[in-house]
Structure 1
């Protein structure tokens, strides 16, 4: 056996042993070993709990369901979820670790799927724990204002928290897709912030100054930030129904991941 044949046999035998479960474990270890992960989690927790306490302490009776206090910070923390998705990918490109990842598993679609799955589950669990902690912390402030969560009605407590956690996962997936698509941390973060925050502002301004272009309002209703709000706390008469909101947000995540997969599959690391 020649040296080339021996090396080919070794590579074949090692890559055949890489199961998807092992890939998930590898991605989980990499995610937890990055300081940016814990900074993102800490900022999400601080914003969610801090804004919750501030609103609970000044939440007048009759202003709406108290669960709004817990889920409303998602309008800010969704950007952090997207950025976490970005840095989990672009960090590997900046350090060159992506070469080792693809050498261990040449099936690039599997690499993307493993990273996306780990990010989605991690973001959902972390967000759920943060929301539950926020509910426990703000309860004394609500009681002081003669308010309380309606635990007897899941649609007023449990379901919005689960929905908010799920939207955080989907925003993380958007970040993962943009990370693989652009490969540059700065470019992918800029794109994430642009889609989540800048684009809605631009469309709102244009629709205000150009009222005849009603299609701008329709486009704005289907942006990720807009449909996330509709999905978490659906209301009567909202522009996009709850079901359509989930489909739209899922389509944004799927489009980002599909675009990232095309680039990952077609270009060298």
Structure 2
């Protein structure tokens, strides 16, 4: 019996074995003590506020100012996915994953805890940043004879909460891809491909075959397009809000299930 196997047996039989709550606390501690996490948060904040101001300055009545608050999600979703990726691949590159799995040999618990922590963290961060953004652009909006209808939650609070929720799902997508590929560069490349390259390919195909409706339908179910329908749906294009949320959840769930299969089937 190897040392790792012996450790795993002791962990299973010890009264001090790692519980899911302990694993969540461990993942939260690892996330909050890595500088890359806070760099990602800073970039998300700068992008969100900067783009919101730029968009608001170009709007005129009767435009919806909330669009300026949530539109940057089209860019910050990539950062959420990358943060999910590096939270996993960083452990593989340093070998820390072996210690994690020795302390808690229930691999599904490790994956679930990491995904839950990343999703919750990203949701809270995005929610706070977008609320601050909405407050910050209010004077500029008022100067342009615009405003945010805070008295109508469906037009103000719901888009912000929805956008924060999509950021959590993109973080989970990154976690799943990180466990599937275990390579930071590879997983980030796939994340970029899913979120940015695939929509470009679909757009090019539509340019050459505009009469093929299935290409447009395919594009609607890509994460980058579904996120628009999930946050601010339109009756004129895209998916319904329910379809969009099912689509985004499906992408994240597929990545997470793939990560779980690889984590269970391969040695660390």
Q: Which TM-score band (shorter chain)?
A: over 0.9
Q: 1: CA distance between counterparts of 2:41 and 2:213?
A: 39
Q: Which residue of 1 aligns with 2:23?
A: 23
- Does 1:105 pair with 2:104? yes
Displacement of 1:14: 4.0
Displacement of 1:8: 7.6
Q: Which residue of 2 aligns with 1:236?
A: 235
Q: 1: CA distance between counterparts of 2:267 and 2:107?
A: 11
Displacement of 1:15: 7.5
- Does 1:47 pair with 2:47? yes
Q: Which residue of 2 aligns with 1:114?
A: 113
Q: 1: CA distance between counterparts of 2:204 and 2:173?
A: 25
Q: 2: CA distance between counterparts of 1:105 and 1:243?
A: 37
Q: 2: CA distance between counterparts of 1:73 and 1:7?
A: 46
Counterparts of 1:120-135 in structure 2, within 5 Å, are 120-135=119-134
Counterparts of 1:247-266 in structure 2, within 5 Å, are 247-266=246-265
Q: 2: CA distance between counterparts of 1:261 and 1:208?
A: 38
Contact 1:15 1:105 in 2 (8 A): no
Displacement of 1:212: 4.6
1:238-262 deviations in whole A, cap 9, x for unaligned? 3311101101100000000000000
Contact 2:111 2:260 in 1 (8 A): yes
Aligned residues: 265
Q: Which residue of 1 aligns with 2:224?
A: 225
Q: 2: CA distance between counterparts of 1:251 and 1:216?
A: 19
Contact 1:86 1:175 in 2 (8 A): yes
3-state SS of the aligned residue for 1:54?
helix
Displacement of 1:9: 6.7
Q: Which residue of 2 aligns with 1:149?
A: 148
Contiguous gaps of at least 5 residues in structure 1? none
Contiguous gaps of at least 5 residues in structure 2? none
- Would you identify which runs of 4 or more consecutive aligned residues in structure 1 move more than 3 Å? 6-16
- Does 1:65 pair with 2:64? yes
